[in-house]
Structure formats: C-alpha cells, structure tokens
C-alpha cells in the first residue's frame, strides 16, 4: 500500500527535511508541500491525501486549527502526524485524533516509526471497511474471537472483548479495565460511543459512568454489583434494564 502524503511547515529547512524523509520511504508518496496551513487547505480540495505531516505553530491558521477543519470530513479525512518543536501541544494533538506527534528535532528512525504507525492504521481501517458481514449464526459461533480497536495515546490497540472487566467514563476519556492487567487503558473516546460498539448480550451500561461485562460479575444486589474487588452502583435510570438481567439470576 502507498500513502499519498503532504508536508506543511512554515520553516523551509524543516519542510525540506520532512519532504526528504517522505521521498526516501518506499510506502509514502509526496503529493504536495506547503508553507502554510491555508495553502494546504486549498491544495487538499484538489487531491486525495491519506497522511499529512503537519507543523503546529504557523501564522493565520495553525496546525491544530487545520486539523479541526479537516475533522469535519469524518471517515474520509486525511490522517495527521504533527511535527512541532513544542511539547505542550501533545494533548491538543491527541484531542484532534492525530496518529502521532513528532517533536523537533527528530531523526529518520523516529519519522519512520510514526510513518509505519500510520500505514498500520490505514491498513486496519481498510480491512475493517472491506469485511463482508457474517451470517448471524456464524457471528454467534465466533463471538469469543470478537475484539475492538481503541486509540491509546498515539496508536490503535486491539482489545479482546473477553478480557474486558468494566469500563469507566471520565468526561472526554474512558478507562478500560482488563483482567490480568493491573493498570487500566486510557482512551480519548466517550462511554456512549463504546456502548454502541459493544454487543448488548455481553455488556450493559449500569451507571452514567460505567459499562460492565456481564460474564465478569461475581455478585449482585438490587442496587449494585461486584466485579472482583470493585463495587459498582446501579444508577436510577438503568435499574429497570438491570432488573430484567437480575431476574435471570433469581
């Protein structure tokens, strides 16, 4: 697979270096180079771009602002790797769904690592888009093999559904607690978005801040449940649905 790339940087030396790195990477094709985000935005109207190596500190329209504009394109938006001399923008880069964050000065090895991450991401995305839905019976048979991908820091992490204990929502983030792993995985997504992806037969929203794996519940009362050593209260708006599940235990 070849990724069409552009580079955007208002510093000529930095722009030249990124372009040189792109041109010596076999799976990248340089289709444009721009000295401002405004020029890049105009150029993006006339070509299909898979990946942008994007500086942040630029006049008129900075890299974060350009990323927000492109975000409105949804699934068709180009992916972004930020290139900047300022590490204080790392969180902002994460919020606009950047694939990686290269801190200047960076060498080719660091550049290649980020580029490989982008290639893996695009290949996974293409594979998931091209998958033919399996018949219901086959899907049931393969249910233990189900998994999802979550963006953890600047990479996609594959998580087997059978390993999830429960998920805690924290405003813009979620914490995913897995069996046999002490620390939870932190991902920039919403609990609602995850709830829509998870199979209802295996997972239940029991609180505005919690989704639980039903087969990991150790004990239940009418108002709470326990998974391992953790007690989770059932929220008022979820008690009716939880009561239906509870009736199966009685």
CA torsion sign, 204 to 210 to 214 to 217? negative
Report the first-to-last Cα separation within the chain, whole angstroms.
55
CATH 2.40.50.1020-classified regions of the chain:
141-247
61 CB-near residues (< 8 Å, 6+ apart)? 36, 37, 38, 41
Residue in 88, 95, 86 with CA at minimum distance from that of residue 55: 86
Structural contact between residues 37 and 63, judged by C-beta atoms closer than 8 angstroms: yes
Q: Specify the CATH number of the domain 141-247.
A: 2.40.50.1020
Q: Which two tokens stand for residue 122?
A: 């695009």
DSSP 8-class letter at 181: -
Range of weakest confidence among 87-96, 104-113, 139-148, 179-188? 139-148
DSSP 8-class letter at 44: T
pLDDT at 68: 87
CATH 3.40.50.2300-classified regions of the chain:
3-130
pLDDT at 165: 95
The correct answer on CATH 1.10.3720.10 for the domain covering 3-130 is no
Question: Which residues of 107-214 form beta strands (DSSP E)?
Answer: 147-152, 155-160, 164-170, 173-178, 185-187, 203-207, 210-213
Q: Where does the pLDDT of residue 130 fall: very low under 50, low under 70, confident under 90, or very high at 90 and above?
A: low
> Model confidence over 25-73: pLDDT tens digits?
999 999 999 999 999 999 998 889 999 999 998 999 999 899 888 887 7
């Amino acid at each position: 697979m070849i990724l069409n790339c552009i580079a955007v940087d208002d510093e000529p030396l930095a722009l030249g270096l990124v372009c040189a790195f792109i041109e010596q990477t076999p799976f990248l094709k340089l289709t444009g180079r721009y000295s401002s985000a405004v020029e890049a935005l105009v150029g993006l109207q006339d070509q299909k771009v898979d990946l942008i190596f994007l500086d942040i500190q630029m006049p008129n329209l900075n890299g974060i602002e350009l990323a927000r504009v492109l975000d409105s394109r949804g699934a068709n938006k180009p992916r972004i790797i930020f290139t900047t001399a300022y590490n204080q923008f790392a969180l902002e880069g994460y919020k606009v769904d950047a694939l990686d964050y290269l801190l200047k000065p960076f060498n080719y090895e660091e550049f290649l690592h980020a580029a490989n991450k982008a290639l893996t991401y695009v290949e996974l995305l293409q594979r998931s888009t091209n998958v033919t839905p399996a018949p219901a019976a086959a899907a049931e048979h393969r249910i233990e093999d189900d998994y999802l991908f979550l963006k953890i820091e600047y990479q996609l992490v594959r998580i087997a559904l059978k390993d999830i204990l429960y998920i805690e929502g924290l405003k813009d983030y979620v914490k995913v607690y897995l069996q046999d792993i002490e620390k939870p995985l932190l991902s920039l997504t919403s609990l609602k978005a995850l709830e829509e992806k998870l199979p209802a037969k295996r997972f239940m929203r029991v609180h505005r801040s919690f989704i639980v794996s039903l087969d990991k519940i150790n004990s239940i009362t009418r108002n709470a449940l326990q998974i391992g050593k953790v007690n989770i209260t059932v929220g008022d708006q979820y008690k009716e649905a939880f009561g239906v599940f509870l009736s199966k235990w009685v």
